[in-house]
Chain A
Amino acid sequence: MRVAYFSPMPPSHSGIADYSTLLLPALGERIEELVVARPGRRVGHADVCLYHVGNDPDSHGWIVDELARRPGVVVLHEFVLHHLIAGMTIGRGHARGYLDAMERDFGVAGRLIGLGVLDNLLPLIWETEPERFPLAGSVLDLAAQGLIVHSRYVEARVRAAGYEGPIWRIPHPAWPAEHVAPADLGGDPLIGCFGHQNMNKRIPQLLEAFTLLRRRRPGARLLLVGVASERFDLDRRLERLGIGGEALIREGYVTEQRLTALMAACDVLVNLRSPTMGETSGSVIRALSLGKAVIVSDIGWFSELPDAAVLKVPVDEFEVATIAAALELAATHGRELGQAARAYAHSGHDLGRVADAYVAALEQAAGGGAVADAVLRRLAEAASEAGLADTSQLARAAREAGLV
């Protein structure tokens, strides 16, 4: 079987590029011919195409363009695709396409809201409230051969949006366990937070909770790795809360090797989110693989992680206090939590099993239709030759047994 694989790849900073870097070798071992597509280059014949779709138009616009030309299996890395669609329409001077997409998903009201955005009467909703307007419908329309999702949350959202094709739920793979020399950063405890820093990541809540922790544990340090979003004034917030000096370590984009060394140095890793765009977090998976105590928000995919493997913080009026308590708990019981986290990463996110599941999905997408047609045709022929007009019972029996 020849598979064409469409995904952002390094040096793209997309988390999906990291994902594909991890997954591709394991897929290559299991698929006869695996061709990684590049923007602007033809990949030729393929039995099935696999398209990784996320919300960043720079990383994924060309992939959706290819999807529109040739059907295939879509890996939906997040459910909210408003930024992607806006970038592929308004960003390309094709405002009408944006309005059509809004109308497709939200009716005439959606079109009117779109007009309001275009006329600067309304804020850019992919920045202000994308979770209310996920705008995934036009991509779902293109996912003719099936969808791969990473969570029950996204599966439910996709079905609620009316998608009727096959869905395979395949967990995010974990990075193989290997010994990593931790960076020498100190901190008692060292709390780490990795990724873009913005409101959605609940950074304000984390900073407040960290100040509470510092009152009880003055040796605590906070490691922030990543870049703050444009409209998020992190420096001012840090200054106002008095988080600086010995208490704070900051790093921007880091290499893969440095990232792992920094994570390995942390006692507790925090990865909060609200609202969720239906995304999984490669950062959380890395942390679990490293056997770290992890704190997440009790929302979306994060809620589906086992209670034994992570500490979950509800997004409510007690959020800051709960994060502070969770930090304290995780710092005290980091070893036990880390062991459970590593065990879960090993069992629930094993790279080999994930690759097997991908191959099964691709094989089904590539050949399942033809196989079902062949079996059902012979059943119908046999029934017809015997004078039976209604073959629905035969077809139902075959379907219930998983044969077609």
Chain B
Amino acid sequence: MRIAVCRPQVPFVYGGAEVVADQLVDELRLRGHETELLAVPFKWYPGTRVLDQAVIWRLLDLAAGDGRPIELVIATKFPSYGIRHPNKVVWLVHQFRQAYDYDRTAYGQFSESPADRATRLAVERFDAVALGEARRIFTISANVADRLKRYSGFDARVLPPPPQKLAYRTEGYGDFVLSVNRLDRAKRIDLLIEAARREPGLRVVITGEGPERTRLEQLAGGLDGRVEFTGRVEADRLADLYARCLGVYYAPLDEDYGMVPYEAFLSAKPVVTTLDAGGPLEVVHDRETGIVVAPDAVALAGAFAYLAGHLPEAQAWGEAGKAVAERITWDGCIEALLS
């Protein structure tokens, strides 16, 4: 089958959505499908530019390529699902959240000006049209499916993607907590650093890059080097960190899905998250596969101290998580997407 996988690409940014699309392409090719990744640069500001981006996707013609039909289009996130195709399947990573749950919050982008309000409405209408054309809609998590239902009225089947391929293994339960995140505000790395300040025995390794790095490094000053920023790490190094850490911190605000808990689980590591983390709560269950606490530094410090003082439980929760993560396979995902 000839398949086009569609995703918008914020230049120089590579995150979970990009991982999912790239891996999907690889896995489809492995199974003999002629597959191409279609990425269009995405910029959502200023003002009404976000709508231009949607128009661009709308204008693309993927009915055929080089005179041969393209039989299936799999679109992933806003605005790539605006593409027109008779056999369009959407595997929704997320909608344009600034128009929905982020609107009128610190994470939103639309002011109260008439033009901004009307731009937000146009995104809403676009979603109604573009998602309404899809033959089937899957979402990467129940959290995304709930939002889709609440804001756009569409039902979707939840289809979590497997995490990226790494040399997952377990090499004990060391003396540090690992954070694997892009360093932006919504990931709430500052909570982890504050927790480290309150728990003197706690060492933290923070991977990833992002606009918050300088601020976070300043915040971590005076902690006697107990907080280490590695920047972006290669796959081998990441697998090694997963293998040796005590547990993994992952507490973004209302995350769509969250690949990190699955990666932690495949290394048999428990995950510490918060009650408002969204997608991760679908697999991180308190005292079963990790610890779930209120989103404050005191509670988090307590959770990390508990893990450090109860290694057999940390191991048992990590192993339980591993069983969950191993059930998510590319065979299952691709069978569903092509059905």
Interface residues of chain A, those whose CB is within 8 Å of chain B, are 1, 32, 47-48, 360, 363-364, 366-368, 370-371, 374-375, 378-379, 394, 397-398, 400-404
Complex formed: what's the CA distance from A402 to B54 in Å? 10
**Are B47 and A367 touching (Cβ within 8 A)?**
no
Task: Tell which of A370, A378, A401 touches B114, judged by Cβ atoms closer than 8 Å.
Answer: A370
Which residue of A366, A394, A398 is within 8 Å of B118 (Cβ)? A366
Q: Contact at A402–B125, with CB atoms within 8 Å?
A: yes
Taking a contact as CB atoms closer than 8 A, the residue among B54, B55, B58, B119 that contacts A371 in the complex is B119
How far apart sit A259 and B212, CA to CA, in the bound complex (Å)? Answer: 60
Tell which of B52, B115, B121, B130 touches A378, judged by Cβ atoms closer than 8 Å: B52
Given A394-B55, A402-B122, A403-B122, answer yes or no on A374-B114 (Cβ-Cβ < 8 Å): no
Given known contacts A32-B112, A374-B48, A379 and B55 CB-to-CB distance under 8 angstroms: yes
A397 CB contact (under 8 Å) in B47, B58, B112, B122: B58
Whole-angstrom distance between the Cβ of A34 and the nearest chain B Cβ: 12
The docked-state distance in angstroms from the alpha carbon of A47 to that of B117 is 12
Q: Is B275 an interface residue (CB 8 A)?
A: no
Question: Considering the complex, which residues of chain B in the window 92-117 have a beta carbon less than 8 Å from any beta carbon of chain A?
Answer: 112-117
Q: A-B pairs with the 6 shortest C-beta distances?
A: A367-B118, A402-B125, A367-B114, A366-B114, A363-B117, A367-B115
In Å, the complex CA distance between A403 and B82 comes to 11
- Are B55 and A403 in contact, CB atoms less than 8 angstroms apart? yes
A398: nearest residue on chain B (CB-CB)? B55
Could you tell me the distance between the alpha carbons of A397 and B84 in the complex, rounded to whole angstroms? 10
List B contacts of A401 (CB < 8 A). 54-55, 58, 82, 125-126, 129-130
The reply to whether the CB of B25 lies closer than 8 angstroms to some CB of chain A is: no
Q: Does residue B128 face the partner (Cβ distance < 8 Å to A)?
A: yes
Q: Is B13 an interface residue (CB 8 A)?
A: no
Q: Could you list 28 examples of A-B contacts with CB < 8 Å?
A: A1-B112, A1-B117, A47-B114, A363-B114, A363-B117, A363-B118, A363-B120, A366-B114, A367-B113, A367-B117, A370-B115, A370-B118, A371-B48, A371-B51, A371-B115, A371-B118, A371-B119, A379-B55, A398-B51, A400-B58, A400-B129, A401-B58, A401-B129, A401-B130, A402-B125, A403-B58, A403-B122, A403-B125
The SS class assigned to the A binding surface is: helix
A48 CB contacts on chain B under 8 angstroms: 114
> Do B51 and A368 have beta carbons less than 8 Å apart?
no
Distance of A371 Cα from B48 Cα, bound (Å): 7
Measured CA separation A374–B55 after assembly (Å): 13
Q: What chain B residues lie within 8 Å of A379 (beta carbons)?
A: 52, 55
* Extra A-B contacts (14), CB below 8 Å, given A1-B112, A370-B114: A1-B117, A363-B120, A367-B114, A367-B115, A367-B117, A371-B48, A375-B55, A398-B51, A398-B55, A400-B58, A400-B129, A402-B122, A403-B126, A404-B51
Hey, which chain B residues are within 8 Å of A375, CB to CB?
48, 51-52, 55
Residues of A within 8 A of B128 (CB): 402
A residues in contact with B119, CB < 8 Å: 367, 371
Identity of the chain A residue whose Cβ is nearest the Cβ of B115 in the assembled complex:
A367
Within 8 Å of chain A (Cβ to Cβ): is B30?
Answer: no
> Nearest chain-B residue to A31 (Cβ)?
B112
Are A368 and B58 interface neighbours, CB within 8 A? no
In the assembly, what is the distance between CA of A234 and CA of B47, in Å?
62
Q: Chain A residues near B55: list those with CB within 8 A.
A: 375, 379, 394, 397-398, 401, 403
- Residues of chain B with a CB closer than 8 A to A378's CB: 52
B59 within 8 A of A: yes
Query: Which chain B residue has the least Cβ–Cβ distance from A400?
Result: B129
CB distance from B108 to the nearest CB of A (A): 14
Size category of the B interface is 20 to 34
Are B54's CB and A363's CB within 8 A?
no
B114 touches A398 (CB 8 A): no
Interface string of B46-89 (1 = CB under 8 A from A): 01100110110011000000000000000000000010000000
B52, B58, B114, B116: most-surrounded residue (chain A CB, <10 A): B114
In the assembled complex, the Cα of A89 lies from the Cα of B116 at a distance in Å of: 41
Residues of A within 8 A of B129 (CB): 400-402
Q: Would you give the shortest CB distance from A343 to chain B, in whole angstroms? A: 19
- In the assembled complex, the Cα of A1 lies from the Cα of B112 at a distance in Å of 5
Q: How far apart are A166's CB and chain B's nearest CB, in angstroms?
A: 12
* Complexed CA–CA distance, A367 and B119 (Å): 8
A370 contact set on B, CB distance < 8 A: 114-115, 118
Specify the chain A residue showing the minimal Cβ separation from B57: A401
CA distance A1 to B116 in the complex (A): 10
Contact call A398/B58, Cβ cutoff below 8 A: yes
Residues of A within 8 A of B117 (CB): 1, 363, 366-367
A32 to B114, CA, bound (A): 11
A402/B126 in contact, CB under 8 A:
yes
Report Cα–Cα, A375/B52, bound state, in Å.
Answer: 6
Complex CA gap A360/B82 in Å reads 22
Q: In the bound complex, how far is the Cα of B59 from the Cα of A403, in angstroms?
A: 13
B residues near A364, Cβ cutoff 8 Å: 118, 121
Note all chain A residues with C-beta closer than 8 A to B124: 360
**Contact assessment for B122 and A371 in the assembled complex, using a CB-CB cutoff below 8 Å:** yes
Q: Nearest chain B CB to A148's CB is how many angstroms away?
A: 15
Across the interface, name the chain A residue whose C-beta is closest to B122: A403
Residues of chain B lying within 8 A (CB to CB) of residue A47: 114
Quote the shortest CB–CB distance from B229 to chain A (angstroms).
40
Contacts of B118 in A (CB 8 A): 363-364, 366-368, 370-371
A364 vs B117: C-alpha distance in the bound complex, in angstroms? 8
B121 near A368 (CB under 8 angstroms)? yes
Given contacts A401-B130, A402-B129, contact A367 B52 (CB under 8 A): no
Q: In the complex, which residues of chain B have a beta carbon less than 8 angstroms from the beta carbon of A403?
A: 51, 54-55, 58, 122, 125-126
Of A367, A398, A400, A404, the contact of B116 (CB 8 Å cutoff):
A367
Give A363's nearest chain B residue, CB to CB: B117
Q: Give Cα A189 to B181, complex, Å.
A: 68
* Among B113, B115, B124, B128: residue with most chain A CB under 10 A: B115
Report A377 CB to chain B, min CB distance, Å: 10
Residues 128-150 of chain B: 1 if any A CB is under 8 Å from the residue's CB, otherwise 0? 11100000000000000000000
How far, in Å, is A362 (CB) from chain B's closest CB? Answer: 8
Chain A residue numbers with a CB within 8 Å of B126 are 401-403
Per the bound structure, the CA–CA distance linking A1 and B125 in Å amounts to 20
- Residue ID in chain A nearest B125 by CB atoms: A402
**Bound Cα distance A56, B129 (Å):** 40
